[in-house]
Structure 1
C-alpha cells in the first residue's frame, strides 16, 4: 500500500468551491486507487492581524481546521502570510507550521511520499519537510506557480531550488516542462502529467435547448476564467462585439469586472454580451455544450482544464499559443490557435461558425485526457519515487519528528 501525504494550497473549501477543482479531482482519483492510502493537507495563508480587519480573509478564517471533504480526511492548518512581502516568507512560515502537524499525522500514518500539488509555496516547503521526515517529494507545476512565482525576484530562487532538490517533478504539458527547464530545473527529471476530464459529465447536449434556456438566439461564444488581465476577456469581448448577431457569455469573477462592464457599454453590444459571475463547476458542462465556440485569450497557461472540458462537450476552442495550446489543438476539429488580439480572435471565431467541425470530431480531441489515465500515471510516478528512494536510502524514517 502506497501511503501518500498530499499537500496543496490550491484546493477548494466551503468558501471557495471552484478554487483548484482540478487538484481536487486528481486527488480524489488517486485516493480511490486500490493500492493508495492518502491524507490531505491544504494550508490556508492568513495575515497575522485579526481577519476582521480585511474582509477578504473572513471566509477563509471560518473554514474548519479539520474535516472530511468528499470522503477525505482533510487538514486545513493556517500559516502566516504578510501582505506586501510578495511571498518572500511564505515557505518559512509554511514549514514552521507544518513540521509539528506532519509529525502528529505520521504517528498514525507513516506516509511514504509527499505529493506537492502546486510549486509555490508548497514545493519548497515539501522539499524541506521531505528532508526532515526522510521521504521523497514530488512537486507538480501547473502554470502561474512557474510563470509568476518562478520568475518573481522575491520567490524565484526558492522555486528553482525546490525543482532541483525534489526527487520528482511533474508538468501539466510539454510546454510547461520547457519553461521549467528554462529557469534552471533539470529537464531529465521532469515528467509530463496531463490533466483529465470527466467524459461522462462533459459531453455534447442539445445546443438549441441550451440556448433557449439562456434566452439566446443565434451563435454563442463562451469564455471561462477569473476576471483578471492574464485571461484576456477584454480581447474576446472586443472580438465578439465586432461580429454581428454573435453573443458572448463570460463565466468568472475577479478584479476586472468593473473594467469589463465598462468595455461592454462602450462596445455597443450590451444586448448580446453578458458577465455571468462565478458559476459552480457543476454548471459548466451545460454552458460549454451550449456554446458554438469557447474562446480564451490567455497570456499564459499550463494546460487549461477549460480547453479540454470544452472539447469534451464537442465545442471547438479559439485560444492563444499559451502553454500547452499546441498539445491540445492539434487538429482543425479542435479549433484554432491565434495571436492575442481581437482581430485574430474575431476571424477565427467567424471561421468556425461558418464551417464548424462535427461535434464527434471535436470531442475526439479530448478522448486522451481521462482521469483514469491521470490516476494511473500519478500512481506509477509516486510509487517509482518511493522505490527508488528506498533503494538508495533505505526504508523511510517513520519515527522522525
Structure 2
C-alpha cells in the first residue's frame, strides 16, 4: 500500500467550489486506487488580523479545520500571508504551520511520499517538509505556478531551488516541461502528466436544444476562465463583435468584469454577448456542448482543462499557441491555433462556423485524456519515487497498516 500525503493550496472548498476542481478530480482518482491510502492537506492562506476580518476573507476563515470532503480526510490549516511582500514569506509561513500538523498526522498515517499539487508555495514547502520527515517529494507544475511565481523576483529563487531538490516533478504538457527546464530544473526528473476529462459527462448533445436552454439561437462561441488579463476575454469579445449574428457567452469571474462590461456596451453587442459569472463545473458540459466554438485567448497556459473538456463535447477550439496547445490541437477537427489578436480569432471562429468539423472527429481529439490514465500514471510516478528513495537511503519497505 502506497501512503500519499497530498498537499495543495489549490483545492475546492465550500466557499470556492470551482477552485482547482481538476486537482480535486485527480486526487479523488488517486485516493480510489486500490493500492493507495491518501490524506489531503489543503492549506488556506489568510492575512493577519484585522485584514482577515474583511468580508472578502470571512468565508475562508469560516472553513472547518478538518472535514470529510467528498470522502477525503481533509485538513485545511490556515497559514499567514503578508500583503505587499510579493509572496516571499508564504513558504516559511506554510512550513511553520504544517510541521506540527504533519507530525500529528504521521503518528497514525506514516506517509511514504508528499505529493505537492501546485509549484508555489506548495513545492518549496513540500521539499522542506520532505527533508524533515525523511520522505521523497513530487511537485506538479500546472501553468501560472511556474510562469508567474517561477519568474517573479520575490519567489523565483524558491521555485527553482524546490525543483532542483525535489525527487520528482510532473508537468501538464511537454511545453510546460520545456519551460521548467529553461528555468534550470533537471529534465531527467520531470515527467509529463496529462490532465483528464470525464468522457461520460463531457459529451456531445443535441446542439440546438442545448442552445435553446441558454436562450441562444444561431452561432454560439463560449469562452471559459477567470476574468483576468491573462485569459484574453477582451480579445475574444472584440473578435465576436466583428462577426454579425454570432453570440458569445463568457463563463468566469474576476477583476476584469467591469472592463468587459464597459467594452460590451461600447461595442453595442449587449444583445449577443453575456457574462455568465462563475459557472458550477457540473454545468459546464451543457454549456460547452451548446457551443459551436470554444475560444480562449490566453497569454500563457500549461494545458487548459477547458480545451480538453470542449473537445470531449465535440466542440472545436480556437486558442493561442500557449503552453501545450500544439499537443491538443493536432488535427483540423480539433480547431485552430492562432495569433493573440482579435482579427486572427475572428478569422478562426468564422472558419470553424463556416465548415464545422465532424463532432466525432473533434471528440476523438480528447480521447486520450482520461482520468483513468491520469491515475495510473500518477500512481506509477509516486511508487517509483518511493522505491528509488528507499534504495538510495537503505530503508526497508514497511507493510500497510
Give the match for residue 325 of structure 2: 325
> Take 1:53 and 1:208, find their aligned partners in 2: how far apart are those partners?
47
**C-alpha contact 1:135 1:397 (8 A) present in aligned 2:** no
> Take 2:366 and 2:259, find their aligned partners in 1: how far apart are those partners?
34
**C-alpha contact 2:195 2:305 (8 A) present in aligned 1:** yes
Give the match for residue 94 of structure 1: 94
Further displaced range: 229-238 or 211-220: 211-220
> Take 1:54 and 1:156, find their aligned partners in 2: how far apart are those partners?
30
Give the match for residue 230 of structure 2: 230
> Take 1:203 and 1:259, find their aligned partners in 2: how far apart are those partners?
33
Deviations 1:283-335 (A, max 9, x none): 00000000000000000000000000000000000000000000000100000
Give the match for residue 165 of structure 1: 165
1:254-293 paired onto structure 2 within 5 Å? 254-293=254-293
> Take 1:396 and 1:166, find their aligned partners in 2: how far apart are those partners?
21
Deviations 1:356-379 (A, max 9, x none): 001100000000000000000000
1:31-110 paired onto structure 2 within 5 Å? 31-51=31-51, 53-110=53-110
- Superposed displacement of residue 215, structure 1: 1.4
> Take 2:208 and 2:380, find their aligned partners in 1: how far apart are those partners?
43
1:350-365 paired onto structure 2 within 5 Å? 350-365=350-365
- Superposed displacement of residue 394, structure 1: 2.5
- Superposed displacement of residue 64, structure 1: 0.5
**C-alpha contact 1:303 1:323 (8 A) present in aligned 2:** yes
* 1:214 lines up with 2:227 in the alignment: no
| Superposition TM-score, scaled by structure 1 size | 0.98
Further displaced range: 306-315 or 261-270: 261-270
> Take 1:55 and 1:86, find their aligned partners in 2: how far apart are those partners?
22
**Can you give the 5+ residue segments of structure 1 that lack an aligned partner in the other structure?**
none
**Can you give the 5+ residue segments of structure 2 that lack an aligned partner in the other structure?**
none
Further displaced range: 42-51 or 324-333: 42-51
SS of 2:56 mapped into structure 1: helix
Give the match for residue 310 of structure 1: 310
**C-alpha contact 2:390 2:397 (8 A) present in aligned 1:** no
**C-alpha contact 1:48 1:82 (8 A) present in aligned 2:** yes
Give the match for residue 15 of structure 1: 15
| Superposition TM-score, scaled by structure 2 size | 0.98
**C-alpha contact 1:134 1:397 (8 A) present in aligned 2:** no
1:171-250 paired onto structure 2 within 5 Å? 171-250=171-250
Deviations 1:124-182 (A, max 9, x none): 00000000000000000000000000000000000000000000000000000000000
Aligned CA RMSD, in angstroms, stands at: 1.0
> Take 2:161 and 2:68, find their aligned partners in 1: how far apart are those partners?
34
Give the match for residue 296 of structure 1: 296
SS of 2:19 mapped into structure 1: coil
396 and 41 in structure 1: CA distance in 2 versus 1, 3 angstrom threshold: farther
SS of 1:191 mapped into structure 2: strand
> Take 2:134 and 2:397, find their aligned partners in 1: how far apart are those partners?
5
